Amino acid sequence: MEFGDKIGAAPGKVEYLYSPSKGIAAQISGSSPGIFAMYMVAVSMDGRRLLDEIPATGIGTTAVYPQPSVVTYIQCDEFGMWGRNCPACQKYFRTNHIIGGTCCPYCAAWAPGLAFMSKDQRKYITACYDAFARALREKKDATVEVANITDRNPAWHYSELKQQLHFECSHVDCRAQTDILGDYGYCPRCGRTNARKLFLERIEKMLIRWEDVDNTIADRRDRSEVWDDMTKNIVGDFEYLAKHLRKKLLHFPMTPNRLKRLEELNFQQPLPANESLLQWFDISLLTWPGSGEIPKRIVPDSDVPFIKKMVQRRHILIHNGGVVDQDYLSFSADTQVVLGERVRIRSNEAKRFIEIVRTMAENLMDNVEHGFEE
Ligand SMILES: [Zn+2]
Ligand SMILES: [Zn+2]
């Protein structure tokens, strides 16, 4: 399925059954052989306010929820997911995590589940509430049938947009399912990032390509072009990841001035960025101090001059055709080249740089994700 395809709701219906003695009871049924799940929301008797989400309970137990209220039902789509809109950044995603605190996959803001209610779901709740009110007013059964609503009244069209990336949280106790735009995102249920797996896969691919080119391409110029590209790309990949992880840090308490500086932090220059992160949060790209589950990991100090040189080489590859200028000589501390010379990145340098950047990325991920745990 391509991005943007409309996804229909799994067919099912909600009936509000009228009984002169007992009042109104809700009955739900699914006609779909596929996934059928609903989640419940208690609405105030006047239909104006959403009071609470009602967790599903097992047979023989009754959920406790605000009284009096009208229980409405929001059905999942045919993939067992529900659309959500972040109350902070307004962006849309889909997930099967709907009850309780929710983390926005895009901006990492936490808010109660109800705050993430999508517009379509609000319409659906209204339809349920209206059926309830009709049953009460007319003293007879009223039904909300998803398929019928969808066909007869486009305003009630309950469908969701399929997003670009589907991921399952890799944490063993979570496993929430989510659809997002783009690729890096936070799990709505536990707030962990999905970037670890994606980033490491990307690096793995790059190293396989390195191996392949190193073994099969003999022409010096052709090889050199690949090492140049890899040097350029790896920093870009790192920057993209770091910007994603920064979203988490932006929710930490800090002064407006620091917030602004963090927003502007330039990850294309990992070493100065590292200095700032160390100062502000006591976390480092060069060190992950280790925890019970993840062993300590460091980029040795002896690698720092090399990182500095490679970052500056990347800079002139992008901005100066790879030709050494005065800035390069001043900032890189590279004594092997002269002004006007075209830098040449050797195969082992490209590989070493990729591996160091991978370590810095892993350090950053662990520091952001686990460095603040008690
Ligand atoms: Zn958001
Ligand atoms: Zn999770």
> Could you give the CA distance from residue 140 to residue 31 in angstroms, rounded to a whole number?
23
What digits encode the pLDDT tens for the residues 151-176?
A: 333 333 335 566 678 899 999 999 99
From the CA of 105, how far away is ligand 2's center (Å)?
Answer: 10
Contact 187, 178 (CB under 8 A): yes
Ligand nearest the Cα of residue 111 is 1
From the CA of 164, how far away is ligand 2's center (Å)?
Answer: 19
pLDDT over threshold 70, residue 59: no
Contact 199, 241 (CB under 8 A): yes
Instruction: Give the domain ranges of the chain.
Output: 6-163, 195-370
Contacts of 344 (CB under 8 A, 6+ apart): 224
Note the pLDDT of residue 251: 96
- Confidence tier at 25 by pLDDT (50, 70, 90): confident
- Confidence tier at 2 by pLDDT (50, 70, 90): very low
- Average per-residue pLDDT for the chain: 88
- Confidence tier at 147 by pLDDT (50, 70, 90): low
From the CA of 121, how far away is ligand 2's center (Å)?
Answer: 23
> Could you give the CA distance from residue 59 to residue 72 in angstroms, rounded to a whole number?
19
What's the pTM? 0.87
From the CA of 244, how far away is ligand 1's center (Å)?
Answer: 12
Instruction: Give percent of the chain with pLDDT exceeding 70.
Output: 89
pLDDT over threshold 90, residue 359: yes
Ligand nearest the Cα of residue 87 is 1
From the CA of 177, how far away is ligand 1's center (Å)?
Answer: 17
> Could you give the CA distance from residue 3 to residue 165 in angstroms, rounded to a whole number?
9
Residues, beta carbon < 5 Å, ion ligand 2: 169, 171, 174, 176, 187, 189-190
